[in-house]
Structure formats: C-alpha cells, structure tokens
Structure 1
Amino acid sequence: MDIINTIVGLGAAVMMPIIFFVVGLVFRLGIGKSFKAGMTVGVGFVGVNMVINLLLDNLGPASKAMVERLGMHLTVVDVGWPTASTIGWGTPIMVAAVVGFLIINAVMVVLKLTKTVDVDIFNYWIFLQVGATVYAVTNNFWFSTVFVWVVFAIVLKVADLAAPYIQKEYNIKGISFPHLAGLMWSPVAIGVNWVVDRIPGLKKVDFNAEKIQKRFGAFGEPVVLGFILGLIIGVLAGYSPDKAITLAINVAAAMVLLPKMIDVLLEGLITVRDAAEIQLKKWFPKREFFIGMDTALLIGEPSVLASGLLLIPIAIVLALILPGNKMLPFADLASLTFLLALVTPFVRRNMFKMLITGTLSIIVILYVGSAIAPFVTQSAVASNIKLPSDFTGISNMTGAVSGWVGWLGVKAGELFNMVF
C-alpha cells in the first residue's frame, strides 16, 4: 500500500512520464527518444494542470459566491474530486482492487477481449471510490472488490466501442478513454441525440464553436467567448466590475492556453504511440491497440469548455428547485467540464445537445448524491477524511459514485445484504 500510495502521490505530471518512458523502452523507441517523449508528456501534463488550476482557482470562488448569494442550505455537500480520490485510495480494498485492475487489463488484452491498454492509473480512484461506497454498504471485502473489477472490465470494453467516435471527432488516433466518470454519461448523450433528431425544429438547432465563430466572427473566437462566459459568471456571482473582468480574462486565457498545452502533451504521446503501433503490428499483425488516457486531453475543445461553464449556473438552479434534493453543488462546480468530454462525440459537438445531456446528468447526480450520501460519508470516515461540520453528509459531482453506476453499486450491495 505504501509503494502504491507513493507512486500515486507523485501525481500525473510525474507518474505519466515514468510510464511513457518505460512503455517507449518496451516498444524499442530507444533510451533517448523514450526519455524525451516521457518528458514531453510530463511537461504537457504540467501545462494542462496549470491551466486547469487557473480555471478552477478562479471559477471555484465564483461558484461558491453564487451558492451563497442564493442562500442555499442543503445538508449534503459536494466535497470535490480531490477529496473523493483520497477516499478511493484510502479504502481497505485498494490494494486488491488495483492489482486486479492491472491483471484484468493484461488478461483481456491477451485474450483479445479489449484493445485498450489503460495507463491512466491515476484515475483508478474513480473505480476505487465506488468500491469504497459498496464496502460501506456491505462491509464485505470481496463483494466490493469483485464489483469494481467487473465495472473496470466493462469500462475497458466500452472504451473500445467509443474510441472510433472519439478519435474521429477529436482527430486523434490510437487512444481510448476508459474514464468511468465520463463514459457513464455517453449513453445519455446517445439517447438525447436520438430524441432531439426526431423532434421537428429542435433537430435543426446546432451550435458548436466553429459555427459560432463563423457566424459571429471575432465575437465567436474562443478567447472572446471565454471572456463573455467568464463575465456572465462574475455578474451572477455578484462580483464588482473589476473582479468580474479579472475572472473573465482568466477564463479567456484558459480557453486559449488549454488546447496549446494539450498539443504539447499529445506530441510526446504520439511519439510513443507510433513506436508502439509499429512494434505491435510486428508482434500481433492482425490486431489493433489503444492507449487508455485521461479525459483531460479532451476538455480543451472550445465546445466542451464553453458548455461546461454554462453548466455551473444550471447546476446551482437545479439544486435549488428540484424537489427532494439534499445535495449542495460546491467544490466540483468548476470541474463540470469533465462530464462533457465523452458526451461530445455522440452529439457531434452540438452545444445545445451537450447542455441537455449535461442538465439531465446533473439531475441524476443530485438525486443519487442525496440518496447515497450516508454510505459515501461512511466511506470517507473509514478513509480518515475530516468532514465539514455544517453538513450531515458528503458526495461529489464529477466522480462516478453520485452517478447511476454508484447507485447500482449501492443497490447491489443492499441486495447482497438481503441475500447473505
């Protein structure tokens, strides 16, 4: 556990260069090129994290100010993904689950059950938090562990199926995204796309970054769009003019800089991927493989960023008006963009459909988060997390535990308790 925690504690910016250096050596890229590729990936992650942190550090206080302005007093608080990841990595099933993930991935690749080689070890926390919550329901080590093993195997397969759509829409190849928190909402996007395309009038509504830019010229550029959205959020937060303009400029900066940082990351990734593709074709002439990565590579798309920003006030309003909701959107409000990264390919970057999908997803998150908060809270206590004194329960919005997968886990655990 100490070894695994030490590796994970390095963070993606350190862990991923090491992984890609080793992968480069395995696929005979050479020490020099492997080192350069790994370092480029690391530098890319540093850049991506800097821009994301710039965005979160500015949007976080604005989101909290909106919540406070509305005087929302809900009893279950969204503690954010950093706390959720700590819960996941601190669960008693962690070591068995992680070792199982690695073995399952290797066995599925060998048996041709998946094309995805998941190197996104850092985001194992998403599966682990679900397992921690199931463990809180059942107090049964092996049921909780096997449950997340099954979920992990299914996600690898779903990542394979989604990869062609993602690669086409984002113009990348050889990469898949076994990211449970994002893939969980892809079926919702497929359903929304199907329904909207069959409604006269609505099916013609199509907004994406390119079309907005073409129609509005300079006012449709990501930098201007980011400024406008940031300014709107600042006004809703009750900021003074100077503070609202500062927020707007920082959001505009993120809209411009994030795609450029992702390009740096992809430069190193593509070097290793190309070497892997050459060697794998020699070793397995008739097979195709994908490198499993984090959805952070996708959120630089202007339509994703813009839709994610618009979801912040939508989430707050929904929390306020939905009958029976107990969950307060809070720490993860600024991270809602991550919910949309794997929605985009299935609605062809149509922001109208993305916002519908995002709104439906948030409704599910709020109700599930309210319902299973006692178990999430119990899992946090087991992981030695200090809880906010003003709230009776916790959850988080951008993991998987407050989505339908977390709900299924809790219900499966309750059924297990009834039977055994």
Structure 2
Amino acid sequence: MDIIQSIFQYILDMGAPVFVPLIMIVVGLVVRMKFKDAFSSGLTLGVAFIGMSLIIGFMMGSIGPAAEQFVKNTGIKLNAIDGGWTAMAALAWAWPLAFLMFPLQIGINLIMLAIKQTNTLNVDLWNVWGKILTAVIVVAVSKSMVLAFIVAAIQMIVELKMADINQKQIQKLTQIPGVTSTHSMTLFGVLLYPINRLLDFVPGMNKHVDANWLKQKLGVFAENHIMGFIIAALIGIFARLSIPEILTLGVQGAAPLTLFPMISKLFMQALSPLSDATSEFMKRRFKGREFHIGLDWPIMAGCNEVWVTTIILIPIMLGLAVILPGNNVLPFAGIINLSVAVPALIVTGGNLLRMIVLGIITTPVFLYVATNIAPIVTDLAKTTKSVDVPSGQMITWSTIEYPDFRFIFARAANGEILWILGALIWIGLFILYYKGMKNRNNKLDKEDEGLGRIA
C-alpha cells in the first residue's frame, strides 16, 4: 500500500499544470489524435493553467493585504486565519487514506458511464483533493471512516450529474464545445438555484445584465481594466492607504481583469481539438450517445462576469466579516470568492446583477461555516503538522467550496437528526435544480433548432 501511495504522491507532486495536461495527452492519443496534436493541446492547456494560477496569485497577493488592513482598521479581533484553498489542500493530502480517493472516483465514473447514468468523462483528477477534504471533515465530526468515504462517493456522483446538466449552459457561456466542469464548487448551485428563482419576482431583476450590457450603458467605465482599477482603488481607500498605494492597487486590480480573457482563449485553443476528437471517437463506438469531457472551473474564466462579481464582493465580505455576530474569520487568502461566482454564473446564465445579489445573500453562509469548522481544521493541522498555525489562533477557509454540502452532510454523518433532515432537503433541492436546468436546456435546444431553420 505504501508503494501505491508513493506512486500517487509522485504524480501529484507535479502539480495540476503538469498532471492534467498529461491526462489530456493520454486521452488525445486514445481517441486517435496525432501525437503532435495531442501534445500541443496538452501543453497549451498546461500553459493556460499556469497563466490562470499566476494571475489569481497576483490578484490575491495585491488585494489581500489591503483587505486585511481594512479589517484591522475596524479594531475587530478575528482570530481564525483564512488559509485559503492551498492550506486546505495541504491538510487534505496529509490524510493517510487520501490516495484511495483516486480509484474510488475513477471507479464511480466508469460505472456511471457504463450504466448510462452520466455522459461525462471526468479527467479533472487533480481536484480529487476536494473530496478528500470532505472526507477529512466528516471523519473529524463523525469519527467514522466508512461514512467519510460514503459522503465523498455521494459528492462524486452528484458532481457528475451536475456536470451533465450544466454542460449546455457552460458551452453557451464559454463557446467551447464538448466540455463541462466537474469541479465540485458547482454543487453550491443547488442552494443558489431556488434563491435565483425567487429573484424572478423582484422588480428589476429580470433584466439580463452582463458585461456586454454594462459596456453599452456605461461605455469606457464598464471596460474590464477600468472596473478593476475603480474597485481595487476603492478597497485601498477603505484600507486607508496612501494615495500612491491606492493608485498602485488600482493598477494591480486592472491587470487581472485585462488578462483573464486573454488566458481564456488558451483554454479554447487547447480544448477544442481534444473535444472534437473525443466526440468523433465516441460517436463511432457509442452511437446515439453524446459524451463530454469534465474539466476544472477555469474553462469559464473567460466570462468577465466572474471577475467583476468576485471583486465587488470583496468589500462586502469584509464588511460582513466585521458586523456579523458570531463570525470569527478574517478573510485573506480566500478573499476572491470563486466558490460563489462560478456556480452563480451557471445558475443565472451570466446575469451579473443576479450574480452579485446571490453573492451578497450567501456570503454569511461561507463565513459561518468557515467559523464553525475552524476548530476542526486547526486540530487536524496540528495533528498532521501539514500547516503551521500560530499559537492562540485558528486556521480555516473563508470561502470554502460548497460549504452547505460539507457542513450539512458532515453533521448528518454524526447522526444529528436536524442535519439528517437537512441532508434530505439538500437532495430535494438538487432534484429541483436538475429538473430546472433540464427545462432550461430544452429551451436552448428549441432556440438552436429555430436558428437552424432560419439559416
């Protein structure tokens, strides 16, 4: 078993920018792409991941300190440090049984493909760490290793079903055919969907406001770089920075919003040939079935609405962190809340106004779950020695992905009646989401048929 664990660890140490492209090259060769084409697509995908990581890292590194200074200026003492996803990933991989998640995820995917319960081939194996973190939290709460793997398996099944039902919407948003996202952060859409439906009855919320609409109405002020500059500069003002520091922060905020659309083109360049080859291969062998490649969330990074939403939510999250009673989390490393922006993009079909409203409404969910799990995560960090936690403080993740699912199912696994009921309600909301998105897909199909007849 130690040998198997060492092999998995060796591969994982390469990192997602190497690990995922290698898998994609193998997939390309299996579906009969020429080696040079498969290698080129895989390498381009790796470059896209590197570019996206660099920009997000730069964004957090520049805006994060200003955000932290803003909270310090309030005089509020928050002793749960936000370690972001990297600290949680380190904690997850330190779990002795972490490597068993790989065969479990692959096995579930293959079984569901064989019995026609999914049309998605999940190649985003790097993000198996998310399922490991879920299992680690369940073990910490329930003390049951078996229930930890059961909850992780439920997560794997649901994320494949989400990938299936979200595919048409993701393709419409990204213009990349044959791909979908199997990242589990889409699970938060289960909670966002009914709230989004309620917004149908709020005056003014039925207008589709996206980045293009803003450009038409606001002109140059809706350009990515201008919006990035203005919002980042405002954060600098709230943090009481000097004028040179505010201007510098403004330019640093403008840079990512300018570069993200450029990086997204690399994903399209890498994935389109792979998608076409995979589609043709599957059509020859499985007539009547349509297959999709499941990938990480950055395939949607070219949608400007994601980044405008995350930046606007920064001062809102900081303000709520200060005023919410019972919150103990100082947002820092996880201050860019992609965990709400990405599922909100899918749920709203890219409606920026609704994305921001959904983000505001659900931000307390992230902060309270992060506060609740801080003692658990801190204890695990100290036990595994995977993350260094300063004395007298705790560590957590302010924008923990799919906080509702993790919190509810961990408590349910502990046998708490209230949360068992909560888990059943969550499953009911998932069914509601699935049916709602299926109806939306049917409308998209009818629109496509209409356009085909006109052409």
Q: TM-score, normalised by structure 1?
A: 0.93
Structure 2 residue ranges without an equivalent (≥5): 418-455
Q: Which residue of 2 aligns with 1:317?
A: 319
Work out the CA distance in 1 between the residues paired with 2:288 and 2:96. Answer: 41
1:145 and 2:145 are equivalent in the alignment: no
Q: Which residue of 2 aligns with 1:87?
A: 91
Work out the CA distance in 1 between the residues paired with 2:215 and 2:384. Answer: 47
Q: How far apart are residue 85 of structure 1 and its match?
A: 0.7
Work out the CA distance in 2 between the residues paired with 1:204 and 1:104. Answer: 39
Residue 171 of structure 1 aligns with an amino acid whose one-letter code is: Q
Structure 1's 342 and 386: CA in aligned 2 closer, same or farther, altered over 3 A? closer
Work out the CA distance in 1 between the residues paired with 2:235 and 2:298. Answer: 23
Question: SS state of the match for residue 238, structure 1?
Answer: coil
Work out the CA distance in 2 between the residues paired with 1:217 and 1:63. Answer: 28
Question: SS state of the match for residue 341, structure 1?
Answer: helix
Structure 1's 233 and 337: CA in aligned 2 closer, same or farther, altered over 3 A? farther
Deviations 1:212-234 (A, max 9, x none): 11112122211211111121122
Q: Which residue of 2 aligns with 1:241?
A: 243
1:96 and 2:100 are equivalent in the alignment: yes
Q: Which residue of 1 aligns with 2:452?
A: none
Question: SS state of the match for residue 28, structure 1?
Answer: coil
Work out the CA distance in 1 between the residues paired with 2:391 and 2:204. Answer: 43
Q: Which residue of 2 aligns with 1:220?
A: 222
Residue 11 of structure 2 aligns with an amino acid whose one-letter code is: I
Structure 1's 238 and 5: CA in aligned 2 closer, same or farther, altered over 3 A? farther
Aligned residues between the structures: 414
Residue 176 of structure 1 aligns with an amino acid whose one-letter code is: T
Deviations 1:8-42 (A, max 9, x none): 22112111221111111000002111111111111
Question: SS state of the match for residue 365, structure 2?
Answer: helix
Work out the CA distance in 2 between the residues paired with 1:76 and 1:27. Answer: 48
Work out the CA distance in 1 between the residues paired with 2:161 and 2:120. Answer: 8
Q: Which residue of 1 aligns with 2:444?
A: none
Q: Which residue of 1 aligns with 2:355?
A: 354
Work out the CA distance in 1 between the residues paired with 2:103 and 2:399. Answer: 24
Work out the CA distance in 2 between the residues paired with 1:203 and 1:416. Answer: 38
1:326 and 2:328 are equivalent in the alignment: yes
Deviations 1:102-121 (A, max 9, x none): 11111111211111111111
Question: SS state of the match for residue 394, structure 1?
Answer: strand
Work out the CA distance in 1 between the residues paired with 2:256 and 2:346. Answer: 22
Question: SS state of the match for residue 184, structure 1?
Answer: helix
Contact 1:78–1:332 at 8 Å: present in 2 too?
Answer: yes
Structure 1's 106 and 306: CA in aligned 2 closer, same or farther, altered over 3 A? same
Structure 1's 386 and 89: CA in aligned 2 closer, same or farther, altered over 3 A? closer
Q: TM-score, normalised by structure 2?
A: 0.86
Of 285-294 and 50-59, deviating more is: 50-59
From 294, 297, 303, the equivalent of 2:296 is 294
Structure 1's 129 and 63: CA in aligned 2 closer, same or farther, altered over 3 A? same
Q: Which residue of 2 aligns with 1:254?
A: 256
Q: How far apart are residue 287 of structure 1 and its match?
A: 0.7
Deviations 1:237-273 (A, max 9, x none): 2222222212211221211111111211221111111
Q: How far apart are residue 390 of structure 1 and its match?
A: 5.0
Residue 327 of structure 1 aligns with an amino acid whose one-letter code is: V
By relative contact order (CA 8 Å, sep 6+), the higher-ranking structure is: 1
Q: Which residue of 2 aligns with 1:404?
A: 404
Structure 1 residue ranges without an equivalent (≥5): none
Deviations 1:152-186 (A, max 9, x none): 111111221122222223323211112122x1321
Deviations 1:62-114 (A, max 9, x none): 22222222223123232111001111112133122222011111111121111
After TM superposition, list the pairs within 5 Å mapping 1:16-415 onto structure 2.
Answer: 16-181=20-185, 183-199=186-202, 201-204=203-206, 206-333=208-335, 335-400=336-401, 403-415=403-415
Work out the CA distance in 2 between the residues paired with 1:31 and 1:314. Answer: 49
Structure 1's 297 and 338: CA in aligned 2 closer, same or farther, altered over 3 A? farther
Work out the CA distance in 2 between the residues paired with 1:297 and 1:238. Answer: 36
Work out the CA distance in 2 between the residues paired with 1:145 and 1:337. Answer: 26
Q: How far apart are residue 387 of structure 1 and its match?
A: 4.1
Q: How far apart are residue 410 of structure 1 and its match?
A: 2.2
